[in-house]
C-alpha cells in the first residue's frame, strides 16, 4: 500500500511504535530550533545533562522574541548565555536583528524530508518546505539535542485537497483562514494536515509556509506540503539547491480524512476578535474604522508578502491614512535587504509606514500596542484577548493585501475594491543571502566559557525517589486548575523564566499568597486537585516551580495531557483517585504517606495513599509506562537521561 508524505517521513525516522493513529510512537529528530523566550531553559536543561555537544544533524538558537523590552538586564543576560552556550555545544546562533526564527529557518536551514523539533508552537512553518516540523516544550527539545527520540501519539493524517486557482487579491492567508472557519481552533487536535492537489503548484514556499504556520491555530500537530518544483526554485534562490530532494505522496496513498478547498471560490477573509477561528468575509466587516495596521510576524512577513504591500502602495501612489498608525516588521534581515534592493523600503517610508525591527515585536505585545479600545488589523496568527498589549483592543487577522488596503483607507477594506490589476510576485533568481549574523559553533569549544548573568539561576534535579513519600497536603484545589493558576504569566514574571528560585516564589500565588513560603517551611509535600488538573498552556515552569518547592506528588481526579507529561519530566508523581469521591477524604493540612514498594508500569498498578491524619487508606493509580516509571524513580527526566548516558 502506498504511503502519504507524513508516513514516509515518520517511517524513516521511527524508533518505536507502528504508525497506528492514536498509538504512541517515538521518532528520531534531525534538526532543532529554539527561540530566546524558551531557549534559555532548553539550553540549561541540555547543560545539566552533561553532554559536551548536541547530537542532532543541526541545531539553531534564535533570538527574536524579547529583543527590545525596556527594564533590567534579564533579556541581555539570556541572550549572552544563549550565544555562549550555542558556541560551546555545537549549535548555530542567530543574533537579535537577524530575523524571526521560523522565517530564517525556512530561508537558511530547513530541508525537505527531515524532522524538526522546535521550542515554539509555530515550528510547523517549516512544513512549507516539506519538513515534518513540530513544536514542543524546552525539555523535549533539550532531549532531542541530546539524541533522545521525541515521543508523541501518532496523529491522524488529513489530506487537504487544493484545487482551482486563487483569484487576484486572495492569498495563502485566506486559505488557512477558510480552514479555521470550517474546523475551528480545536479542529486539528491529534491531526497532521498534508496538502496536495493541483492548486499546490501555484503556491510558492513562503505562501505554503503562511498556511503551515497558522495550522498551529487549528491545534494540529503540524502541517506539511510536498517538495516539488516550487520547493526547488525557493531553495535554489537561497543557494541551497544541493539540499533539495523531491517528496510526494504515493498515488495510492490513503488518508484518515479528506478536506476539499476550491481556491477559485475563496474571497478575502478576516478573523475577528478574539479568536483566530472567528472568521468572516472581509465584505461583512468592511467600513469599520481602524486605528492601527501591523504587517509582519512569522505568518506574513516574507519577501512575497512585503513586496505585495509595496506594489499596492506604489501602484496607487497612496499614503497610509492620516488616522492610522501603520508598521511593518520584516521577517528577516534577508527580507529587509531585498526590500531595500528593489526599492520598496523607500516606498514604505514615503507611504508613512513605521519600519520596526525584524523580530516578533508587536505579535507578543513588545511595543506597537493599539490605543485603548482601538481596532488593529494585523497579518499575524493570534488575536487572543490582551495579546496585543492593550486589554480592550479589538484585533483582526487578515492577509497582507487586506491589511494594505485597510491602511490606505482607514477602514477595513476588501483589497479588490482598490481596482488594481492583479499583482504577481515571483521569487527572485537569488535572494540577498547574508548569513553574517548567524554564528557557527566554536572550532574549539574548550575555549568557550558559558556566560551566566546573576539573573540566571537553574535548578534541574530532584532526589531519586525512595520506597515511600510522606508529607503534608500543602494545597487542595478544585476542578480545571490551569497552568496560569500554578504559575502566572505577565510582564513581572516572564523575565524570571531563567531564575528558578525567583519564579518559584510565584507558584500558586494567585490562589494562595503564602503557598511558596509554606512549601519551603514544611520541606515540600503534596497537592490535591480535581478534574483536568493543569489545563492550558504547555508552560513547563508549572512543573519546575513545584519541583523546586519540594512537591512530591499531585493526587487529582484527572490531569490535562501536557501538564501530566511535564510533571513526570520533573519527577513529580501524578496519581489519580481510583474512586473520585475519595477526593473528599483528604483535606489541606492532612499528613499523607505513599507506599511505593510495588510502583510499576501499567494501568492496573494501584498505589495506596495512607491519610495518617484521618486514619484511612485511599487507592490511586497512575497508568505510567515503563519509561515514565523509570523517569519518576530517577527523580525526573534529566537524571534519567544522565544515568542512561553514564551506563
The set of catalytic residues is 64-65, 120, 382, 537, 539
Residue 4 in the binding site for ligand SF4 (CB under 6 A): no
Nearer to ligand SF4 by Cβ, of 123 and 566: the residue is 123
User: How far apart are the C-alpha atoms of 154 and 150, rounded to whole Å?
Assistant: 12
Min dist CB 340 to ligand SF4, Å, is: 21
Residue 173 in the binding site for ligand SF4 (CB under 6 A): no
Query: Of 361, 306, 357, which is closest to residue 335 (Cα–Cα)?
Result: 306
Give the number of other Cβ atoms within 10 Å of residue 163's Cβ.
14
Total residues at the site for ligand SF4 (CB under 6 A)?
A: 11
Using the rule CB under 6 A, give the single segment among 309-317, 358-366, 390-398, 636-644 that binds ligand SF4: 358-366
Nearer to ligand SF4 by Cβ, of 329 and 499: the residue is 329
Nearer to ligand SF4 by Cβ, of 297 and 535: the residue is 297
Please identify which residue in 120, 148, 401, 582 interacts with ligand SF4, judged by CB under 6 A: 120
**Cα separations in angstroms, 367 against 39, 120, 208, 333, 470:** 22, 20, 28, 19, 48
Min dist CB 297 to ligand SF4, Å, is: 4
Residues numbered 237 to 266 that lie near ligand SF4 (CB under 6 A) are none
Min dist CB 38 to ligand SF4, Å, is: 10
Nearer to ligand SF4 by Cβ, of 45 and 65: the residue is 65
Backbone φ/ψ region at 433: left (φ over 0), alpha (ψ -120 to 50), beta: beta
Please identify which residue in 33, 100, 220, 641 interacts with ligand SF4, judged by CB under 6 A: 100
Site string for ligand SF4, 25-64 (x = CB under 6 A): ----------------------------------------
Min dist CB 158 to ligand SF4, Å, is: 23
Query: Of 270, 259, 247, which is closest to residue 132 (Cα–Cα)?
Result: 247
C-alpha cell at 199: 492548486
Nearer to ligand SF4 by Cβ, of 6 and 136: the residue is 136
User: How far apart are the C-alpha atoms of 614 and 593, rounded to whole Å?
Assistant: 12
**Cα separations in angstroms, 455 against 81, 461, 485, 577:** 11, 19, 24, 40
DSSP per-residue letters across 295-324: E-TTTS-SHHHHHHHHHHHHHH-----TT-
Residues numbered 58 to 97 that lie near ligand SF4 (CB under 6 A) are 65
Query: Of 105, 104, 107, 100, which is closest to residue 116 (Cα–Cα)?
Result: 105
Using the rule CB under 6 A, give the single segment among 17-25, 360-368, 395-403, 559-567 that binds ligand SF4: 360-368
C-alpha cell at 622: 497512575
| Residue 447: partners with Cβ closer than 8 Å, 6 or more residues away | none
Residue 381 in the binding site for ligand SF4 (CB under 6 A): yes
Please identify which residue in 363, 477, 542, 594 interacts with ligand SF4, judged by CB under 6 A: 363
Decide: 329 and 359 in contact? Cβ < 8 Å: yes
Min dist CB 533 to ligand SF4, Å, is: 27
Residue 187 DSSP SS3: coil
Please identify which residue in 122, 409, 497, 633 interacts with ligand SF4, judged by CB under 6 A: 122
Greatest CA separation found in the chain? Answer: 82
Decide: 187 and 193 in contact? Cβ < 8 Å: no
**Cα separations in angstroms, 515 against 476, 477, 546:** 11, 12, 10
**Cα dihedral across residues 334, 336, 337, 342: positive or negative:** positive
Using the rule CB under 6 A, give the single segment among 53-61, 357-365, 508-516, 532-540 that binds ligand SF4: 357-365
**Cα dihedral across residues 397, 403, 407, 409: positive or negative:** negative
Element (H, E) at 257: strand 257-262
Using the rule CB under 6 A, give the single segment among 236-244, 356-364, 547-555, 567-575 that binds ligand SF4: 356-364
DSSP per-residue letters across 587-630: -TT-EEEEE-TT--SSTT-EEEEEETTTTEEEEEE----HHHHH
Query: Of 68, 64, 77, which is closest to residue 36 (Cα–Cα)?
Result: 64
Query: Of 492, 360, 356, which is closest to residue 72 (Cα–Cα)?
Result: 492
Please identify which residue in 27, 218, 324, 364 interacts with ligand SF4, judged by CB under 6 A: 364
Please identify which residue in 146, 224, 360, 549 interacts with ligand SF4, judged by CB under 6 A: 360
Min dist CB 536 to ligand SF4, Å, is: 17
Min dist CB 114 to ligand SF4, Å, is: 20
Min dist CB 364 to ligand SF4, Å, is: 4
Residues numbered 294 to 313 that lie near ligand SF4 (CB under 6 A) are 297-298
Min dist CB 421 to ligand SF4, Å, is: 31
Residue 218 in the binding site for ligand SF4 (CB under 6 A): no
Residues forming contacts to ligand SF4 in the complex (CB under 6 A) are 65, 100, 102, 120, 122, 297-298, 360, 363-364, 381
Amino acid at each position: 500500500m502506498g504511503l502519504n508524505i507524513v508516513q514516509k517521513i515518520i517511517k524513516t525516522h521511527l524508533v518505536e511504535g507502528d504508525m497506528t493513529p492514536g498509538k504512541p510512537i517515538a521518532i528520531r529528530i534531525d534538526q532543532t530550533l529554539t527561540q530566546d523566550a524558551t531557549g534559555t531553559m532548553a539550553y540549561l536543561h541540555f547543560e545539566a545533562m552533561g553532554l559536551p555537544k548536541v547530537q542532532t544533524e543541526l541545531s539553531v538558537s534564535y533570538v527574536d522574541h524579547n529583543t527590545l523590552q525596556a527594564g533590567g538586564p534579564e533579556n541581555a543576560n539570556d541572550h549572552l548565555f544563549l550565544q555562549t552556550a550555542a558556541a560551546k555545544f555545537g549549535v548555530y546562533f542567530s543574533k537579535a536583528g537577524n530575523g524571526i526564527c521560523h522565517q530564517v529557518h525556512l530561508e537558511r536551514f530547513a530541508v525537505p524530508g527531515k524532522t524538526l523539533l522546535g521550542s515554539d508552537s509555530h515550528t510547523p512553518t517549516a512544513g512549507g518546505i516539506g519538513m515534518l516540523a513540530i513544536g514542543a516544550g524546552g525539555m523535549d527539545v533539550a532531549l532531542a539535542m541530546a539524541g533522545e527520540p521525541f515521543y508523541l501519539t501518532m496523529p491522524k493524517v488529513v489530506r487537504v485537497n487544493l484545487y482551482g486557482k486563487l483569484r487576484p487579491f486572495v492569498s495563502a492567508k485566506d486559505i488557512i483562514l477558510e480552514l479555521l472557519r470550517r474546523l475551528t481552533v480545536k479542529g486539528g487536535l491529534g491531526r497532521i494536515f498534508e496538502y496536495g492537489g493541483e492548486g499546490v503548484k501555484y503556491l510558492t514556499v513562503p505562501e505554503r509556509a503562511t498556511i503551515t504556520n497558522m495550522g498551529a491555530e487549528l491545534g494540529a500537530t503540524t502541517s506539511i506540503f510536498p517538495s516539488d518544483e516550487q520547493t526547488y526554485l525557493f531553495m535554489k534562490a537561497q543557494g541551497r539547491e544541493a539540499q533539495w530532494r523531491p517528496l510526494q505522496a504515493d498515488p495510492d496513498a490513503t488518508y484518515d480524512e479528506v478536506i476539499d478547498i476550491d481556491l477559485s471560490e475563496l474571497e478575502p477573509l478576516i478573523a475577528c476578535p478574539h479568536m483566530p477561528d472567528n472568521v468572516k468575509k472581509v465584505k461583512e466587516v468592511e467600513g469599520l474604522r481602524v486605528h492601527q495596521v501591523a504587517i509582519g510576524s512569522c505568518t506574513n512577513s516574507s519577501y512575497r508578502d512585503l513586496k505585495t504591500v509595496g506594489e499596492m502602495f506604489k501602484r496607487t501612489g497612496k499614503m497610509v491614512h492620516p488616522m492610522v498608525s501603520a508598521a511593518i516588521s520584516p521577517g528577516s534581515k534577508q527580507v529587509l535587504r531585498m526590500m531595500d534592493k528593489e526599492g520598496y523600503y523607500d516606498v514604505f517610508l514615503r507611504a508613512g509606514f513605521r519600519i520596526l525591527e525584524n523580530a516578533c515585536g508587536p505579535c507578543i505585545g513588545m511595543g506597537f500596542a493599539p490605543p485603548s479600545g482601538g481596532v488593529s488589523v494585523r497579518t499575524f496568527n493570534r488575536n487572543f484577548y490582551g495579546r496585543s498589549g492593550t486589554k480592550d483592543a479589538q484585533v483582526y487577522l487578515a492577509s497582507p493585501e487586506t491589511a494594505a488596503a485597510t491602511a490606505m483607507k482607514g477602514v477595513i477594506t476588501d483589497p479588490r475594491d482598490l481596482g488594481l490589476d492583479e499583482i504577481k510576485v515571483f521569487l527572485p533568481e537569488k535572494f540577498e543571502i547574508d548569513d553574517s549574523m548567524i554564528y557557527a559553533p566554536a572550532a574549539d569549544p574548550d575555549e568557550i566559557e558559558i556566560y551566566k548573568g546573576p539573573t540566571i539561576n537553574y535548578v534541574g534535579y530532584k532526589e531519586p525517589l525512595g520506597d515511600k513519600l510522606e508529607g503534608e497536603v500543602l494545597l487542595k484545589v478544585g476542578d480545571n486548575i490551569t497552568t496560569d493558576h500554578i504559575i502566572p504569566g505577565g510582564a513581572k514574571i516572564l523575565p524570571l523564566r531563567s531564575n528558578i528560585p525567583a519564579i518559584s516564589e510565584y507558584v500558586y500565588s494567585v490562589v494562595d499568597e503564602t503557598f511558596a513560603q509554606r512549601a519551603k517551611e514544611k520541606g515540600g509535600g503534596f497537592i490535591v486537585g480535581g478534574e483536568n488538573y493543569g489545563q492550558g498552556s504547555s508552560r513547563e515552569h508549572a512543573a519546575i516551580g513545584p519541583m523546586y518547592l519540594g512537591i512530591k506528588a499531585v493526587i487529582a481526579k484527572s490531569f490535562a495531557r501536557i501538564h501530566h507529561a511535564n510533571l513526570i519530566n520533573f519527577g513529580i508523581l501524578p496519581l489519580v483517585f481510583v474512586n473520585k469521591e475519595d477526593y473528599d477524604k483528604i483535606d489541606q493540612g492532612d499528613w499523607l504517606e505513599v507506599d511505593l514498594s510495588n510502583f510499576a508500569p501499567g494501568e492496573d498498578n494501584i498505589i495506596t495513599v495512607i491519610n495518617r491524619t484521618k486514619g484511612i487508606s485511599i487507592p490511586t493509580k497512575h497508568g505510567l509506562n515503563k519509561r515514565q516509571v523509570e523517569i519518576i524513580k530517577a527523580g525526573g527526566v534529566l537524571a534519567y537521561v544522565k544515568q542512561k548516558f553514564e551506563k
